[in-house]
Amino acid sequence: MIRAGHGGVYAEDWLDKGKIGIGWDFGSKDIASMKREQIRATYLAEHPNESKNRVAAIVGQVYRFAHEMTQGQTVVMYDPASRLYHIGVITGDCVPTRDEDDPAYTRTVRWETSASRDALKQSSKNSLGGIQTIFAVSDEVMNDLRSATGTSQPIPEEAAGEDASDDNEDTRAATYDNGIELIKDRVNQLDWEDMERLVAGLLKAMGYCARITPKGPDGGRDVIASPDALGLESPRIVVEVKHRKGAMGASAIRSFIGGLRTNDHGLYVSTGGFTREARYEADRSNVPMRLLDLDGFVRHYVDVYDKTDEETRDILPLTRIWWPA
């Protein structure tokens, strides 16, 4: 398995372009031709003040990408936006890239299928939350992934074991992302009423006065928020909440935008995500409009959790974890 950057920022691009990558920069040198000690020496020359533990962890990851990954091996990559584990086959060697928007080194991949995180066993979810950028997936977990795609089959032997890691920035970021995924799992277990209350609680924690609209034909208005309790000050935020599986399409976004009044701001929350066409529809809107998928919602919720009220915390309680500086 390989992480698509912090928070899966590269996932969509890797899927579109059929590749994977790592971001550690060795000045475009050919790391695929280097032995482990050469990789270590090259990295130390660029980062002489790094701790021994951090250097060991990074060199192990780089060596794995350059040498232990080989053409024909299975690779797994997670996209937190869609909550899908994408499974493919490595088809190319490790090569340096020249595009500054790309990771420093890439390999080509033929993506073949995907598995929903929601369809996996809890033990598999925990295992796939490893803190390494690159780590081996056990046969048991891989078979669970295959079963979730409907293509269960024997898995060939892969490189085993994980490199030692240090309590560095990369480890903290990976641990944070794992926590986000566990919170998203919990959100998906809520019913639609609790989800609406959670959205209202988020807006309250952000400083708005928010209320849930009465049930019935609401014209796309599940929650109304404004800076004042009477709802007379701007901006007035009109919120539609869809708590279901499946991405919302462009037609749903057009309908929502069409129901907004003058000076309204729109917020569309969909735990099932949005299609590309839906995002395009929101981007071209003439009214202030924001789409919030499950990943985005949870990250906002974590940011303002300390300001949430007791009712909101009862719906989705969190525990703070302290990390040594």
Provide the pLDDT confidence category of residue 157 given band limits of 50, 70 and 90: very low
* Least confident residue range of 20-34, 77-91, 191-205, 257-271: 20-34
Q: Are 39 and 62 in contact (CB under 8 A)?
A: yes
What pLDDT, on the 0 to 100 scale, is given for residue 325?
66
Does some domain include residue 159? yes
The reply to whether 180 and 247 lie within a common domain is no
Residue 155 predicted with pLDDT over 60: no
β-pairing, 264-270 vs 236-242, is parallel
The reply to whether 228 and 302 lie within a common domain is yes
Q: Are 177 and 7 in contact (CB under 8 A)?
A: yes
Task: Give residue 246's region: left, alpha or beta (phi > 0; psi -120 to 50).
Answer: left
In whole angstroms, give the CA distance from residue 105 to residue 214: 54
Does some domain include residue 183? yes
- State how many domains the chain has: 2
Dihedral sign, CA of 151, 152, 158, 163? positive
Residue where one domain finishes, among candidates 169, 188, 207: 188
Residue 58 predicted with pLDDT over 60: yes
Structure tokens at 282: 């929101």
Report which of 129, 132, 159, 1 is spatially closest to residue 56, judged by C-alpha positions. Answer: 132
CATH classification at residue 287: 3.40.1350.10
The reply to whether 245 and 276 lie within a common domain is yes
Q: Which domain holds residue 264?
A: 192-315
What pLDDT, on the 0 to 100 scale, is given for residue 156?
42
Residue where one domain finishes, among candidates 145, 163, 188: 188
Does some domain include residue 286? yes
The reply to whether 165 and 200 lie within a common domain is no
Report which of 6, 38, 36, 37 is spatially closest to residue 22, judged by C-alpha positions. Answer: 6
Burial 15-26 (b: 16+ CB within 10 A, else e): beeebbbbebeb
Residue where one domain finishes, among candidates 164, 188, 212: 188
The reply to whether 199 and 58 lie within a common domain is no
Does some domain include residue 322? no
DSSP class of residue 136?
Answer: P
What pLDDT, on the 0 to 100 scale, is given for residue 216?
66
In whole angstroms, give the CA distance from residue 183 to residue 170: 20
Greatest distance between any 2 Cα atoms in the chain: 68
Does some domain include residue 142? yes
What pLDDT, on the 0 to 100 scale, is given for residue 28?
80
Q: Are 95 and 78 in contact (CB under 8 A)?
A: no
The reply to whether 182 and 265 lie within a common domain is no
Report which of 2, 26, 315 is spatially closest to residue 137, judged by C-alpha positions. Answer: 2
Provide the pLDDT confidence category of residue 172 given band limits of 50, 70 and 90: confident
Average pLDDT, the chain: 87
The reply to whether 199 and 306 lie within a common domain is yes
Spell out the residues 6+ positions from residue 210 whose beta carbon is closer than 8 angstroms to its own.
199, 200, 201, 203, 204, 223, 224, 225
Tens-digit pLDDT profile for residues 282-311: 999 999 999 999 999 999 999 999 999 999
The reply to whether 175 and 210 lie within a common domain is no
Does some domain include residue 325? no
Report which of 251, 288, 253, 286 is spatially closest to residue 269, judged by C-alpha positions. Answer: 253
Structure tokens at 204: 């309250």
Dihedral sign, CA of 193, 197, 199, 200? positive
Report which of 160, 165, 135, 162 is spatially closest to residue 56, judged by C-alpha positions. Answer: 165
The reply to whether 180 and 211 lie within a common domain is no
Does some domain include residue 321? no
The reply to whether 161 and 282 lie within a common domain is no
Q: Are 158 and 73 in contact (CB under 8 A)?
A: yes
The reply to whether 84 and 148 lie within a common domain is yes
Does some domain include residue 320? no
What pLDDT, on the 0 to 100 scale, is given for residue 221?
82
The reply to whether 258 and 172 lie within a common domain is no
